[in-house]
Amino acid sequence: MFGISPLGWLHTLGSLPAIPLALYMFARHGRIVPRSGAGLGYFVSMLLGAGTVFLVARQPVSNAIAVVTLVLLVVGYGVGRIGALGRARVYLETILLSLTAFLLMLPTVTEVLRRVPDGHPLVTDLHAPLLVGAQGSLLLALVLGVTAQVVYLRRQGARLGTPGNA
């Protein structure tokens, strides 16, 4: 089905939970919250998804996206524990983990458009206007979303009486 191998299904089904978990955390907290149950689920799902890319990817860019995703994920989850960074750690954590969500959705949208409906995909060319528009929309959502997150964190810091500057 959809031309996906058993390893491809492991990759797909392993990373799939990260999408609703990220959406839940964005809606509830305005960001991915690493030290939460949903945050732990997101981390595990992203590790499984990004880690299995190397077994199923056909394009070198897929491996590059996986490496960048893994680095951002590990650094994003670790930076919040570095007390010396002060308030900057919340900003860095938020931005880095938002980037992981973007890097999850970029190939997800691309693969869905290239495989659905089965046998007659919506997109057959990587330069198709629908695909380019969808990818551009994701980039716009990233830029607007990270901007909104930073503004929210700055306002939250001002209300708590701490400096809003990172």
The answer to whether residues 59 and 110 touch, using CB atoms and an 8 Å cutoff, is no
pLDDT given at position 105:
98
User: Which residue type is seen at 142?
Assistant: L
Q: Could you tell me if 55 and 13 are in contact, meaning their C-beta atoms sit under 8 angstroms apart?
A: no
Closest CA to 92 of 108, 106, 103, 81: 81
Residue 75 and residue 57: Cα distance in Å, rounded? 24
Specify the pLDDT at position 2: 75
- Candidates 70, 41, 58; CA nearest to 7 is 58
Global pTM value: 0.91
Residues of the chain with pLDDT under 70: 158-166
- Which DSSP letter does residue 151 get? H
Could you tell me the two tokens for 153? 């964190």
C-alpha span between 124 and 121 (Å, rounded): 7
Predicted local distance difference test score (pLDDT) of residue 40: 98
